[in-house]
A and B are shown apart, each in its own frame.
Chain A
Amino acid sequence: MSDKTLTRMDISEAVFREVGLSRNESAQLLESVLQHISDALVAGETVKVSSFGTFSVRRKAARVGRNPKTGEEVPISPRRVLSFRPSHLMKERVAAGTRR
């Protein structure tokens, strides 16, 4: 099992190979896909991508946290966090792929 980190470049390279658009346009399309997903999430929408997974936004209530170094109490304001739930297919493929 390798341990590489892929970036936008690698993903848009795959789009370039698959569809035959220019590298530049492939990169732009990847960017707009990420942008549309982000915009929907920021607007509070859930984004469901079949056979990939679901991105959803959860609201967290305010709570009192603690600085672990000083023990000092600090208020943590209410916030929204993003959670990603992988599809069954993704879970199966990742489990199977890394078992080899």
Chain B
Amino acid sequence: MIRSELVQRIADENPHLYHRDVERIVNTIFEEIIRAMEAGNRVELRGFGAFSVKRRDARIGRNPRTGDAVSVEAKAVPFFKTGKQLRERLNGGSE
């Protein structure tokens, strides 16, 4: 499923909404999650999962082709942890 199919499924269920509004709603949801993480915040959507930011220390990396040492600066990376309910559903657990 891709973004446009998700929008379509929501639009089908909500015939009273304009398609472009459904698009804005879906975009806003994803945009807000990114915006929160940009600010270093966590987004917890209970049952679904939690988006958080993990910090990676600076390290000495290597160019895999030449073997040269290169310094990699400290950075923050997005992380997602699956929620309990979704994890159980994936394994045929409680629906």
- Chain A contacts to B: CB under 8 angstroms: 1-8, 10-11, 14-15, 18-19, 21, 26, 29-30, 32-34, 36-38, 40-42, 45-53, 55, 57, 79-82, 84, 86, 89-91, 93-99
Contact = CB atoms under 8 A, between A and B. Distances in A.
A94 B86 contact: no
Contacts of A21: 17, 25
Given A10-B32, A82-B86, A1 B40 contact: yes
A94 B41 contact: no
B2 A94 contact: no
Contacts of A37: 1, 6, 48
Contacts of B38: 93-94, 96-98
A88 B31 CA distance: 14
A80 B77 contact: no
Contacts of A19: 21, 24-25, 28
Given A5-B42, A37-B48, 12 more contacts: A5-B44, A15-B25, A19-B28, A37-B1, A37-B6, A40-B1, A49-B30, A51-B30, A90-B78, A93-B34, A93-B38, A97-B40
Contacts of A96: 38
B43 A5 contact: yes
B91 A36 contact: no
A47 B9 CA distance: 13
A90 to B, nearest CB: 5
Interface residues of B, number: 48
Contact of B44 (A1, A7, A34): A7
Contacts of A34: 45, 47-48
Given A33-B6, A49-B6, A94 B29 contact: no
Interface in B30-69: 30-34, 36-49, 53, 55
A40 B91 CA distance: 14
